[in-house]
Copies of this chain bind each other. A is one copy, B any other.
Amino acid sequence: MTRPRIPNYCGKPISSRSRYARLAGHRCFDLKGHPGTCSEFPYLEHLGSEAPKVRQKIIRDATMTTGAAWASDDAGPNRILRWAMLESDQVLRRFGIDMASLKPGVVAKLREKAAPYEACMLVAQKLTALVYGMANAPDVPSDVRSYLASATGAPISVTTCQVCLLPLDFNLFAAARRGKAEIETAHANPRLHTHDNVGFAHRECNIAQGAMTLDEFYGWLRDILARVDRSRGR
């Protein structure tokens, strides 16, 4: 289990009212000796006051499986905690999730989104740092800046689309076409939910990458262009 890289964090257990609370050791990620109540996402407080939906998206994408691509009647639960997907079918039945009733493809899709609680917490920190690095993002308060720098091991810098490498604009969070956000949480390897592997991408870039890893995707593009060039006699 990866340990958060936050130096000197509080680490006190946090009680959760969620029915899934006992599946993870929820903890306080505020700094040791912090004033006020414990919090899992203290570094998201400022962003939450500036852009509550972006805060929600970070927590949701970091901790929940996604479901947009397979939303249908028989697709099963649309979003579920990623660490719940590490549990056996038997344990999940106790939580009212009947994996056996889902189609094999749906089960595979859910299971491949599994990630331990700790990894999800690191992903949330990484995503928050990336948001502050976007053009037109809110100014990051100095305490949040230094928290995120220690947590992610790097200072906040210019955030680019993980796929096409163009700079990302914070305003894309508010933009949506046909109900789909223009900016998505992206995975260099779609089956690996770790901070090293996670970033943001344009929706169309993320869609184009599909189920391929980024390296597979770039190789695929190179092959396509080579065939196009050959067919056009270049």
Contacts and interface: CB of A to CB of B under 8 A. Distances in A.
A110 to B, nearest CB: 13
Interface in A213-227: 218, 220-225, 227
A166 B105 contact: no
Given A70-B178, A178-B70, A218 B228 contact: yes
Taking each of A164, A204, A224, which has the highest tally of chain B beta carbons within 10 Å of its own beta carbon? A224
Contacts of A94: none
Contacts of A222: 225
Contacts of A208: 207-208, 210
Interface residues of A, number: 27
A177 interface: yes
Contacts of A231: 165
A220 B105 CA distance: 32
B224 A164 contact: yes
How many copies of the shown chain assemble into the complex? Answer: 2
Contacts of A221: 221, 224-225
Contacts of A163: 224
A135 B186 CA distance: 35
A211 B182 CA distance: 14
A165 B224 contact: yes
A36 interface: no
Contacts of A228: 165, 218
Contacts of A178: 69-70, 105
Given A207-B207, A207-B208, A179 B72 contact: yes
A222 B220 CA distance: 12
Interface in A113-132: none
Interface of A: 69-70, 72, 105, 163-166, 177-179, 204-205, 207-208, 210-211, 218, 220-225, 227-228, 231
24 contacts: A69-B178, A70-B178, A72-B179, A105-B177, A164-B223, A164-B224, A165-B224, A165-B227, A165-B228, A165-B231, A166-B227, A204-B210, A204-B211, A205-B224, A207-B207, A207-B208, A207-B210, A208-B208, A208-B210, A218-B224, A218-B228, A221-B224, A221-B225, A225-B225
